[in-house]
Chains A and B, each alone.
Chain A
Amino acid sequence: MIIYLLCFVLFLVGIYGVITKRDLVKIILSLAIMGYSANLFLILFAYKKSALYPILEKGVDVPMVDPLPQALVLTSIVIELGTTALLVSLVAKLFQKYRTFDITKIRRLLG
């Protein structure tokens, strides 16, 4: 249970960063932290005691861990990278227009 709680603490650190930080780069990093925590949580559910990786080998018959959450997380990691690239390009565009990363200053410039 302590491992699940630690994973949840990691998610809360990400939420803290999204709420309190004013720098757009730091907000991107906080979103990345939340993504790590969610992926890790799914894989923690899949683990079975004294089981091996879900890849068959010749002549070896051992209990294996749950392959379904691993497949889901594999796609999730790729999508996370795509969204990170999109966020980076949007932040770069905002920097070109307003010459700052501070969201409060950007809001003031909008009027």
Chain B
Amino acid sequence: MPIETWLTFVLGFMIIGSIVALELKDILSSIISIGVVGLGVSVAFLFLQAPDLAIVQFLFEIFAIIILVKVFIKKDYHYEEPSRINKMLIGVTVITLAVIFIFSISVFKNIPPFGEPLLHTSKYYLENGAGDTGAANLVSSIILDYRAYDTLGEVTVLFTAILGSVTVLRLSIRKNKNKE
């Protein structure tokens, strides 16, 4: 089978999974559905010849599910009764997004068909990457040699996000301890 058929199947599966995740009433079921969508992304990366990304996406998906389940599992999910305003909001949103989708079709007609890469700068990386850096994995050579600034910024963002989360939660834990 050609790769387009497989990708269409996986993407349709992901769309159905995300709609199910958003519409379910139970919070545990919707978190698990999001996990299914993330594993679909991982499979799509494998079809698109990106094994690096498939490994990282798979592991991070497991990690995100564990975080979400561990924090939100014991909460009683209060059922929100559908009010008239909410129904109107849903209707207006769906109509607006459908209009955006119809107008965007002409935009997608203008980009080259699937299977022809758009970026031409990377020809240099493919031809000279191994000679310049000495690494066989070209993705690794890009993120750690050609674009190491990018990685430095990324590590800084990760550090800041973790610092924020630790600061927000540690205050409350300490307060509880003082009360005891």
Interface, chain A (partner B; CB < 8 A)? 1-10, 12-17, 19-23, 25-26, 28-30, 32-33, 36, 39-40, 43-49, 51-57, 64-75, 77-86, 88-90, 92-93, 95-96, 100-102
- A14 contacts across to B, CB distance below 8 A: 18
Give the secondary structure class of A's interface.
Answer: helix
Chain A CB within 8 A of B174 CB: no
Do the beta carbons of A16 and B53 come within 8 Å of each other? no
* Chain B residues whose C-beta falls within 8 Å of the C-beta of A33 in the assembled complex: 18, 21, 34, 37
Given contacts A4-B114, A19-B93, contact A29 B168 (CB under 8 A): no
Residue of A14, A46, A70 most packed against chain B (CB within 10 A): A70
With contacts A1-B108, A46-B117 known, is A65 near B48, CB below 8 A? yes
Residue tally, chain B, CB below 8 Å to A: 84
Bound-complex Cα distance A81 to B164 (A):
13
Docked pose: A71 CA to B152 CA in angstroms: 13
Residues of A with C-beta under 8 A to B52: 70, 74
Question: Which of A20, A29, A46 is the one whose CB lies under 8 Å from B89?
Answer: A20
Closest to A33 in B: B18
| A56-B45 contact in complex given A8-B108, A29-B21, C-beta closer than 8 Å | no
Interface residues of B (CB under 8 A from A): 4, 7-8, 11-12, 14-15, 18-19, 21-22, 27, 30-31, 34, 37-38, 41, 44-45, 48-53, 56-57, 60, 63-64, 67-68, 71-72, 75, 77-78, 80, 86, 89-90, 93-94, 97, 100-101, 104-105, 108-109, 111, 113-119, 121-122, 125-126, 129-130, 136-139, 142-143, 147, 150-151, 154, 157-158, 161-162, 164-165, 168-169, 172
Complex contact A45–B117 (CB within 8 A): yes
B97 and A40 within 8 A (CB): no
In the complex, what's the smallest C-beta–C-beta distance from B12 to chain A, in angstroms?
7
